[in-house]
Structure 1
């Protein structure tokens, strides 16, 4: 059963963590998206694997049974901005880790505000200068839904070049 105060891990690390190709690709992804550590990358990989496993399980069901579950999964992923309106289960199986990392608040703030690096965008988010609607969000790993994306605003009390881009 386990202790309810100690939740289970939200990620699975790779089976072989010392493969040169994997180390290089992980390091490139961590650097280009400004992740704090590889654990954030592994969380995103686990989430993508969970979506792909759901799609694979739906493909093995009969067509009349899977229609409702398929539309529910596609609608949820469409709300998150990972697939388009006219997507199918094959599109879910083709999801990559970059698709999920593009939906993080840190990455969207970097693109909208014109910060110099993903690390600067992470700092802006962590310091509480970003709000979604009326709510201040200081979690750089927050997955932004498509209806929340136009509501992202930077506070105008920012010093420096970010202040000009926000006005």
Structure 2
């Protein structure tokens, strides 16, 4: 079970540390999504790996119990926005790391236009300027669910919100 106060590692490290293609791809993802370090890429890779492993297991098994598990896996992926409505279990095998990275709060803050760059979006999230449905979220790696996507905004007492409103009033 492990120690209750010591969290388990949520990622797997690469099997070989000096693979040039992997390093280039990780650097590209870190730059594109404004990540802090490669550990965040590894977390996303581990999530995708686990989803794909579960899908392979469910595709190989045929029983009434796996039908319920299929629905649960697909429901989870659709709710989180990683897959679209009406997706099949075979679509889980086509998931990529970028599918998971696109659902991060940091990325969606940038996509919605609340920040000019992904790095600025990360800083705004960490400093507590961003809220989801009025709740302050200060984790840039928070996976935003499909229903929460339109509730992203500034925290009500954020000085950033006041500055932006003042700038809009001046125009």
User: Given the two structures, how large is their TM-score scaled by the length of structure 2?
Assistant: 0.89
- Superposition deviation, residue 84 in structure 1: 1.3
C-alpha distance in 1, partners of 2:75/2:143? 16
C-alpha distance in 2, partners of 1:7/1:126? 21
Say whether 1:109 aligns with 2:116: no
Question: 2:159 pairs with 154, 157, 161, which one?
Answer: 157
Question: Do the aligned partners of 2:154 and 2:161 also contact (CA within 8 Å) in 1?
Answer: no
Say whether 1:146 aligns with 2:152: no
Partner residue, 2:39? 39
Question: Do the aligned partners of 1:126 and 1:139 also contact (CA within 8 Å) in 2?
Answer: yes
Partner residue, 2:54? 54
- Superposition deviation, residue 7 in structure 1: 2.2
Question: Do the aligned partners of 1:52 and 1:92 also contact (CA within 8 Å) in 2?
Answer: yes
CA-to-aligned-CA distance 1:29-81 (integer Å, 9 cap, x gap):
01110110111110111011111111011011115332111111101110000
Say whether 1:11 aligns with 2:11: yes
Q: 5+ unaligned residues in a row in structure 2: which ranges? A: none
Q: 5+ unaligned residues in a row in structure 1: which ranges? A: none
User: Given the two structures, how large is their TM-score scaled by the length of structure 1?
Assistant: 0.91
| Greater alpha carbon shift after TM alignment, 95-104 vs 13-22 | 13-22
CA-to-aligned-CA distance 1:59-108 (integer Å, 9 cap, x gap):
11115332111111101110000111111111101000000000000000
Question: Do the aligned partners of 1:44 and 1:101 also contact (CA within 8 Å) in 2?
Answer: yes
The residue matched to 1:138 in structure 2 has which SS? coil
What RMSD, in angstroms, separates the aligned Cα atoms of the two structures? 1.9
CA-to-aligned-CA distance 1:107-126 (integer Å, 9 cap, x gap):
00001125232111100111
Partner residue, 1:136? 136
Aligned residues: 165
Runs of 4+ in 1 over 3 A off after TM superposition: 159-165
